[in-house]
Structure 1
């Protein structure tokens, strides 16, 4: 398995298929393994890059870290990974980028800070609460702070119950709880603790440069799950879609449709990519 050495970290990644580069950016789990079920069908058309974000799973941290700038470092890491894989493959240093949940927030910032390396940015339900009207923004911040308080007082599993109860239901909720169930192993436990401590509040409450996104609007494809409806979790996606004057494209499943309906999700994503 190849690794990319960057400042302060070693980032492992997997490659599937041949063709134009397609970088998949995971959300809360932080590990590329979650995309393996959709990477195979996508690899019939693309060179699919799955990676473990800094601090998660097989990645390794070296020396002092700037945990208050994790979002910026994630975007920089994504840029460096695109450049590295492109150079190795003899391609131009650019890629189609798909990000989901907090991974979509990373994709947004990658597009703003490093637009030259992004040919298309597919943003699947980024929980960018700062894009919402003040009252909903405050409600979102209050919910995240409440969940963080439960995490510190009662542990990650109790906090995950509160998180899924506030943001998701049904198959989505069960898949998300299983993904963070630390009784399944030390790696999942470490990922869960890392996410609660350093990402739960920082990424959704980070400021979004909507004007900069609009400038790159031709590259943006706003995405949401069919089962997600137009609820609060899709609110930021609707705001972005309106700003760049595009419709929200729908994919099978809900917030984690790539887990609950991987085959349908991959097929839907390929169709959207073909249209764009």
Structure 2
């Protein structure tokens, strides 16, 4: 399996197809394998790269980590992968907390990104004060539930706002502690080091406006609730129409062919 040594980690990644580079950045449990279906569906038009973000699954850590800068490090890792695999700019699809990584990548390394679909980033600091407070309270409730009752109880709270029960079940299975050691380790890493930090990260809107032409904000047609609100705010701020894509928050696992069609239509 291909890997890339970077400062403090070895990044595991997989490559599908040929064509312009398309990097997929996952949320929640951090595994690149959640994109295998859409990678295969898009492989006749793109070189699709699926990677385990550092600390997840096969992307191993080496030595001390600056955990307070995990978000910036994820963005730098994305830049390193793109530069390692291509001399050209890449297309990027980032979802959930992976969409926050994508926004940070655009702020720190815009020169490596041609265009990016930013799907439902829970970037709650961009919200008005009242909604920001509600969102922060919900995140802390999830974390407190995790500490008191464990990850399975917490993920049920996390998915309680999903309008699609099939999506909620898939999301729960991705972080369920009874799915084996890899998933258990991923879920603990996410609850401890990502859930609160990424959702409370400051998004540099001036930097976003400077690269507005690269940003395609996106929400799922069946998505609802606080999780979709930051996408609308970001779209308004950078004056970009919000793209509606099939299904909801984990549509790439339910309808990979339709998302591949979105890539073909919007990544030109």
The two structures share one fold, judged by TM-score above 0.5: yes
Residue deviations 1:143-177, cap 9 Å, x none?
11111011111100011111111455422211110
User: For 1:251, which of 234, 245, 255 is the aligned residue?
Assistant: 245
For residue 185 of structure 1, what is the aligned residue in structure 2?
180
Is the CA contact 1:253–1:265 (under 8 Å) kept in the aligned structure 2? no
Q: Aligned residue pairs: how many?
A: 268
Ranges in structure 1 where 5+ consecutive residues have no aligned partner: none
- Secondary structure in structure 2 of the residue aligned to 1:224: strand
Q: Distance in 2 between matches of 1:47 and 1:160?
A: 33
RMSD: 1.2
For residue 83 of structure 1, what is the aligned residue in structure 2?
83
What is the TM-score when the length of structure 1 is the normalising length? 0.94
Change (3 A) 1:168 1:209: farther
For residue 149 of structure 1, what is the aligned residue in structure 2?
144
Q: Distance in 2 between matches of 1:114 and 1:246?
A: 20
Q: Distance in 1 between matches of 2:165 and 2:242?
A: 22
For residue 113 of structure 1, what is the aligned residue in structure 2?
108
Is the CA contact 1:167–1:233 (under 8 Å) kept in the aligned structure 2? no
- Secondary structure in structure 1 of the residue aligned to 2:117: strand
**Structure 1 residue 209: Cα displacement:** 0.5
Q: Distance in 1 between matches of 2:188 and 2:163?
A: 20
Q: Distance in 2 between matches of 1:200 and 1:267?
A: 30
- Secondary structure in structure 2 of the residue aligned to 1:201: helix
Ranges in structure 2 where 5+ consecutive residues have no aligned partner: none
Q: Distance in 2 between matches of 1:171 and 1:243?
A: 32
Q: Distance in 2 between matches of 1:226 and 1:97?
A: 20
For residue 7 of structure 1, what is the aligned residue in structure 2?
7
For residue 212 of structure 1, what is the aligned residue in structure 2?
207
Residue deviations 1:47-67, cap 9 Å, x none?
111100000001111010111
5 Å matches for 1:9-158?
Answer: 9-86=9-86, 91-92=87-88, 94-158=89-153
